[in-house]
Amino acid sequence: MDHGSLRHRIPHEEFDYQALIDSLSGYSRPRAKITALLRNGVIVRVKKGLYVFGKEERRKPLCPELLANLIYGPSCVSLEYALAWHAMIPERVETITSVTCGRSRAFDTPLARFVYRNVSMRAFPVGVDRVETGDGRAFLIATPEKALADALVADRRGPILSRRAMEVYLRESWRIEEGRLKELDRNLLDELATCYRSRKVRLLASIVERLNRGGER
């Protein structure tokens, strides 16, 4: 089997061990073939049981958000990476950050670093979007509201006790513009604040309400 035949049998760039074994069903020693494919860079092992095609074999760019869901789950892309994905913050984020209702974990892979932060089962599903990839698959990513709420709760730099302090924090630590804050859904932030029992998220919700009332303090 040549590489083109392998590509024909595996349509996606990201695939699991079972798909790989199935594509090598004609080989008497499929594991030896997998070792050769890895050695030659035709495929790359992301983690045990999960692979992608090497750079020379890829038909399109990899989807880091989909990979994040596949590497460890149940999980949802969130925190800094999702804030950048939604253009809420100006910085480019290299580490793919997610939240999970499982244990907090981190995976250093040949592609990128994937970090997963534990959140409560109650908070995990609130504010999650399902984004279609265009090839029949989809990944889960936090809405801007959830990504920011998750980031606020994860930040352990100390309490934020007033709306003014929260405004300074959002401007100086995250560089989030008021126009983007105004677009946030106050009701969803209230729900997230309740799920997290978070004063910081409640303060964020009150700022969004003030901005939508015209800015009066």
- Number of domain units in the chain: 2
Q: 199 in a domain, yes or no? A: yes
Same domain, 80 and 52: no
Rounded to whole angstroms, the Cα distance separating 166 from 46 reads: 39
Q: 17 in a domain, yes or no? A: yes
Nearest to 149 by CA among 191, 95, 90, 101: 191
Whether the CA torsion 65, 70, 71, 73 is positive or negative: it is: positive
This prediction has a pTM of 0.91
- The CATH number for 11's domain is 1.10.10
Same domain, 53 and 84: no
Q: 217 in a domain, yes or no? A: no
Same domain, 108 and 12: no
Domain boundary among 25, 40, 57: 57
> Each residue of 153-180: pLDDT tens digit?
999 877 888 999 999 999 999 999 999 9
Same domain, 118 and 155: yes
* H helix or E strand, kind and range, residue 52: strand 50-53
Same domain, 119 and 74: yes
Same domain, 43 and 79: no
Domain boundary among 16, 37, 57: 57
In the prediction, which pLDDT does 44 show? 97
> Each residue of 77-92: pLDDT tens digit?
999 999 999 999 999 9
Rounded to whole angstroms, the Cα distance separating 9 from 157 reads: 50
Whether the CA torsion 56, 58, 64, 67 is positive or negative: it is: negative
Q: 93 in a domain, yes or no? A: yes
Same domain, 12 and 86: no
Same domain, 187 and 83: yes
At 189, phi and psi to the nearest 5?
-65, -40
Same domain, 33 and 139: no
DSSP alpha helix (H) spans, 29-135: 30-39, 64-71, 79-85
Same domain, 121 and 191: yes
| Section 26-46 average pLDDT | 94
Q: Is the pLDDT of residue 4 over 80?
A: no
Nearest to 207 by CA among 187, 182, 188: 182
Same domain, 52 and 71: no
Domain boundaries, position 208: 64-212
Same domain, 102 and 50: no
3-state SS of 5-31? HHHHHCCCCEEEHHHHHHHCCCCCCHH
Q: Is the pLDDT of residue 217 over 60?
A: no
Rounded to whole angstroms, the Cα distance separating 62 from 211 reads: 38
